[in-house]
Chain A
Amino acid sequence: MSGVRVLVGTRKGAFVLESDGKRQRWDISGPHFGGWEIYHLKGSPADPNRLYASQGTGWFGQLIQRSDGGGKTWEPVGNRFVYDGVPGTHLWYDGTPHPWEFARVWHLEPSLTDPDTVYAGVEDAALFRSRDGGQTWQELPGLRRHESAPSWQPGAGGMCLHTILLDPSNPERIFIAISSAGAFRTDDAGKTWRPINRGLRSEQIPNPTAEVGHCVHRIAMHRSRPGVLFMQKHWDVMRSDDAGESWQEVSGNLPSDFGFPIDVHAHEPDTIYVVPIKSDSEHYPPEGKLRVYRSRTGGHEWEALTKGLPQRDCYVNVLRDALAVDSLDPCGVYFGTTGGQVYASADTGDSWAPIVRDLPAVLSVEVQTLP
C-alpha cells in the first residue's frame, strides 16, 4: 500500500512524519539536527530515499545534510557556497550599495530525474547547483549577473531566492523567485535569465509596475501544465497562462490577498490553495480564523476550508514553503504553522486534523508520496 512521508523543517530541527495511504495514523521521528534551524528539506523525485536538508544557525553557519535512507540516517555534505567571480553589490535597506554576502540556503530543489543533482536558492539571492549529491556546489551566475541585479533589494526576511520550479516538459527552463526582486525565467538551463513580472502591481515600490522589485512570495505550477503559473505575491494572488510572460490578478473574493504559500492540487491543475493572512504588518489570519482557501477555477472564485481548523483566537502564520500536497487520490494537503502545528487533509482540503501540535515554529513542509 502506498504511503506518505511529510518532511517538516522547523526553527529547532527537522521532523519526519509518516503514514500509510489512509493518512490517519502517523509515526513522528525527530528532532533531527535538534537546535538547528532547518529552513527546508526535500526528497528527490527520482529516488524517494534521497533527501536533502538545509541546516543552519547564526553561530555555526550553513550545513547541508543528505539522507540516502529516507530520513532515517543523514550525513553532512558540502557547505561551501561561494559566489562566482567578484560578487558585486545590490541595494541595502537604506538604498546604499551592499556587497553580496552568503547567509543561508532557503530552498533545495532536487532534479526531477537525477538524485545527485540538486539546486539551492540562497540568501543573498543566487542559484547554486550540485551534481554530486551535494558534495560540491557551483553558482549559476547568469542570474546574479542580470543587468537589474545591482538594483535588487532585500525584503524584510532578507534577499532570498526562495522558489525554484523545474519545468518537467523542458529541462532547459527554470523559474525562480526572489524577495524582493521578483520572478525570473531561464530557457537555457541557467545561462541567461529575464524578469517575468509583467502584470504585477506593487504599491510598495516607487514604480508599481516596474520590471523588477516585486516581493513575490511563492510560485506554483502543476506538472502537467508547466506554462500555467500561480503566484502569491506580497499582496495579490496572480496567474500566468504564458509561462510568466504576463500575469493577471485572481484574488477574487479572498478575505485578504496577502499571504505566503500557494500550491496546486495534484490531479486538478485548476484547483489551487492559499492561506490568507490579514496584512503585511499583521502576520496572522483575518479574524483569528485559520482558513485555507481553495479555488477550483484557477482563481477568482474561492471557498474557505475551515473544518477541523481553529476558527477563533488563532494568530499563527503559514510561511511560504510550508504548504504542500501529496499525489494520492484523493489528494492530500498539508501545512505547518509558526505555532508548531502541522495540519493534514486527506480529502483535498474539505476537512483537516493536526498530525502534530507542538513542534517549534514550522518553516517548511514537503510531502513525498511513497510507492
Chain B
Amino acid sequence: MIRVVLPAHLRKLAHVDGEVKLDVEGRVTQRSVLDALEARYPMLRGTVRDHVTQRRRPFVRFFACEEDLSHELPDAPLPDPVATGVEPFLVVGAMAGG
C-alpha cells in the first residue's frame, strides 16, 4: 500500500480527506504511483502532470523521506519507506507568490 498526500486544492477536487492509499502494481516509481492515482481519481489528470508529455507541472513538487524527489527520473524507484507504506509520497504545490 502506497500512501500519497495531496495538496488541499487537489484533495478537494478529488473529494478526499487525509491521505490517499493506493495499490501499485510492480515497481514503485513516480510514474506508477501517479498512474495509479490518476486511475483512481480521473479528475486529477492534467493537474500534477501534463496530459501529453506526462512531465511534472512546473509548480508541483514531489517530496518523500525529507528529500526533494521532484527532479528524479519518473521511472526511478521511490525510497523503500514509500514503497512499503512507512512514509507517504507528498505531492506539493511549490512555494510561490508573495
Contacts and interface: CB of A to CB of B under 8 A. Distances in A.
A307 to B, nearest CB: 39
A82 B52 contact: yes
A58 B46 contact: no
Given A60-B60, A82-B52, A76 B43 contact: yes
Contact of B13 (A58, A62, A63, A82): A63
Nearest to B93: A59
Contacts of A69: none
B94 to A, nearest CB: 7
Given A36-B9, A76-B13, A60 B57 contact: yes
A76 B41 CA distance: 11
A61 B47 contact: yes
Contacts of B48: 60
Given A79-B45, A79-B46, A82-B51, A61 B57 contact: yes
A57 B48 CA distance: 12
Contact of A60 (B10, B51, B52): B10
Contacts of B7: 59-60
A59 B46 contact: no
Given A62-B46, A79-B46, A80-B46, A57 B9 contact: yes
A60 B47 contact: yes
A97 interface: no
A162 B51 CA distance: 23
Interface string A22-63: 000000000000011000000000000000000001111111
Nearest to A83: B52
A35 B7 CA distance: 13
Interface residues of B, number: 18
A82 B46 CA distance: 11
A174 B9 CA distance: 36
Interface in B42-65: 43, 45-48, 50-52, 57, 59-60
B96 A59 contact: yes
Contacts of B46: 61-63, 79-80
Given A79-B45, A80-B51, A59 B94 contact: yes
Main SS at interface, chain B:
loop
Interface in A84-102: none
Contacts of A61: 46-47, 50, 57
Given A76-B13, A82-B51, A82-B52, A59 B60 contact: yes
Nearest to A58: B59
B58 to A, nearest CB: 8
A271 B82 CA distance: 65
B45 A59 contact: no
Contacts of B13: 63, 76
Given A35-B9, A36-B9, A82-B52, A58 B47 contact: no
Contacts of B47: 60-61, 63, 79
Contacts of B94: 59
A46 B48 CA distance: 35
A59 B43 contact: no
Nearest to B10: A60
Contacts of A36: 9
Nearest to B47: A60
Contacts of B93: 59-60
Given A59-B59, A60-B57, 7 more contacts: A59-B96, A60-B9, A61-B50, A62-B46, A63-B13, A79-B45, A80-B45
Q: Which 4 A-B pairs have the closest CB atoms?
A: A60-B47, A59-B93, A76-B43, A59-B59
14 contacts: A35-B9, A57-B9, A59-B9, A59-B57, A59-B96, A60-B9, A60-B48, A60-B93, A61-B50, A63-B47, A76-B43, A80-B46, A82-B51, A82-B52
